[in-house]
């Protein structure tokens, strides 16, 4: 069942890539349920910035994660909340071109977001 869900998520990633834009922190931005979510990767550091409905910074709760698919391998990265509006995790290796990342998080106000990125 997990593999089926992952296959469905990954098959929709090319469509998500079309909706991506550049964010205020220099990363890739996508919209999830009306919330902007920005992904920045620097080496093995993965930073997710969260914004509320009014495009103002908002925080996330613990339990957030990113599923990374690259080179035929899938890795789950736990994300830890960091002030003011970041979720931070450590990648096993820097993201290469074409890497796919799916982020699942719950915002501090209780909204759940799932954002898809293609680097």
Q: What phi and psi, each to the nearest 5 degrees, are found at residue 62?
A: -70, 165
pLDDT confidence of residue 101: 97
* pLDDT by position in tens, the chain (length 119): 555 444 544 554 444 444 567 889 999 999 998 899 999 999 999 999 998 878 888 888 878 999 999 989 999 999 999 988 999 999 999 999 999 999 999 888 888 999 999 98
Integer Cα distance of 103 and 37 in angstroms: 9
Strand, helix or coil at 90?
strand
Task: Write out the H or E segment, with its range, that includes residue 11.
Answer: helix 2-11
Residue 86 has what pLDDT? 94
Task: Determine which helix (DSSP H) or strand (DSSP E) holds 42, and give its type and residue range.
Answer: strand 35-42
- Going along the chain from its start, the domains and CATH numbers come out as 2-118 (2.60.40.1220)
Determine the Cα–Cα distance for residues 56 and 39; give it in Å rounded to an integer: 16
* Residue environment code for 45-80, b if the CB has 16+ CB neighbours within 10 A, otherwise e: ebbbbbbbeeeeebbbeeebebbbbbeeeeeebebe
């Amino acid at each position: 069942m997990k593999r089926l869900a992952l296959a469905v998520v990954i098959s929709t990633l090319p469509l998500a890539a079309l909706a991506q834009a550049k964010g205020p922190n220099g990363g890739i931005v996508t919209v999830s349920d009306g919330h902007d979510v920005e992904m920045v990767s620097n080496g093995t550091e993965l930073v997710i910035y969260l914004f509320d409905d009014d495009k103002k910074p908002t925080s996330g709760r613990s339990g957030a994660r990113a599923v990374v698919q690259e080179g035929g391998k899938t890795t789950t990265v736990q994300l830890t909340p960091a002030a003011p509006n970041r979720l931070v995790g450590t990648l096993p290796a820097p993201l290469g071109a074409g890497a796919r990342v799916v982020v699942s998080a719950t915002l501090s106000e209780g909204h759940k977001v799932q954002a898809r990125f293609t680097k």
